[in-house]
């Protein structure tokens, strides 16, 4: 009797923070990125995530779209802020086109801009775009080494104490989850959404 309780308690500990998050902090987490971030947001919403914003039309918005805090991309972000308030958490996805790629300086500018548009003291998460573990060169838009390069930039930022940002892990898309080499199909979106739920609830 004593022992059968243990798995039950472990189960509670593993599942309750995520579920609670969906009702206690609705839409308090913003995000920036490209269509790949949108794929995550689509799957997040499909899997009943409510803590982070849903998709808001970020297709094509790679790093250089977010380096200037007054860009039209940030204008779109601010429309979300007008709806939900300044986010207390922001997820930054580093997305690139093969040319020009992105530099670490640009990533730092993007993080600084995120701080300007978020609530004071907001927690910032940073990730690369998804990687393709069983087909690493799959994403023609980012180039054969591109996705891993964005992950490396995100890890570097997470390890840089002066930036105060958190790298939660890689997003992964497997072969059957991709529709055009880069973007997630419906199964891939769902998988990405579950990965986001596992990272930040
Ligand atoms: C670092 O970020 C956290 C939120 O993740 C914030 O509470 C804290 O004040 C920040 N620290 C500094 C030194 O800015």
CA distance 131 to 71: 27
SS3 165: strand
Tokens of 161: 């104490």
End-to-end alpha-carbon separation of the chain, Å? 32
Instruction: Determine which residue's CA is closest to atom 12 belonging to ligand 1.
Output: 164
* Nearest Cα residue to atom 1 of ligand 1: 164
pTM: 0.90
- Report the separation in Å between the CA atom of 121 and the middle of ligand 1, taken as the mean of its atom positions: 6
What is the structure's pLDDT at 17? 53
Digitized pLDDT (tens) for each residue of the chain, 201 residues in all: 444 444 444 444 444 455 678 877 899 999 999 999 999 999 999 999 999 999 999 999 999 999 999 999 999 999 999 999 999 999 999 999 999 999 999 999 999 999 999 999 999 999 999 999 999 999 999 999 999 999 999 999 999 999 999 999 999 999 999 999 999 999 999 999 999 999 999
Q: Which numbered atom of ligand 1 lies nearest the CA of 166?
A: 5
Name the nearest CA neighbour of 166 among 141, 132, 200.
Answer: 200
Q: What is the pLDDT of residue 8?
A: 43
Interval between CA 51 and ligand 1 midpoint (Å)? 20
Q: How far is CA 28 from the centre of its chain?
A: 14
Q: Could you tell me if the CB of 120 is within 6 A of ligand 1?
A: no
Instruction: Say what the pLDDT of residue 23 is.
Output: 76
CATH numbers and ranges of domains, the chain: 24-200 (3.40.50.1110)
Helix (H, G, I), strand (E, B) or coil at 55: coil
């Amino acid at each position: 009797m004593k022992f059968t309780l243990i798995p039950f308690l472990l189960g509670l500990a593993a599942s309750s923070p995520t579920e609670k998050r969906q009702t206690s902090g609705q839409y308090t987490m913003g995000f920036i990125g490209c269509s790949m971030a949108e794929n995550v947001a689509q799957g997040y919403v499909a899997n009943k995530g409510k803590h982070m914003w849903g998709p808001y039309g970020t297709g094509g918005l790679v790093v250089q779209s977010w380096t200037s805090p007054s860009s039209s991309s940030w204008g779109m972000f601010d429309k979300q802020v007008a709806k939900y308030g300044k986010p207390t958490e922001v997820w930054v996805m580093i997305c690139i086109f093969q040319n020009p790629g992105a530099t670490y300086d640009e990533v730092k500018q993007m993080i600084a801009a995120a701080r300007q548009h978020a609530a004071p003291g907001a927690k910032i998460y940073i990730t690369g775009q998804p990687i393709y573990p069983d087909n690493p060169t799959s994403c023609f838009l980012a180039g054969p080494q591109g996705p891993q390069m964005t992950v490396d930039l995100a890890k570097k930022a997470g390890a840089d104490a002066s930036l105060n940002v958190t790298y939660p892990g890689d997003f992964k898309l497997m072969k059957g989850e991709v529709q055009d080499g880069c973007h997630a199909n419906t199964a891939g979106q769902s998988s990405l959404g579950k990965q986001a739920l596992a990272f930040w609830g």
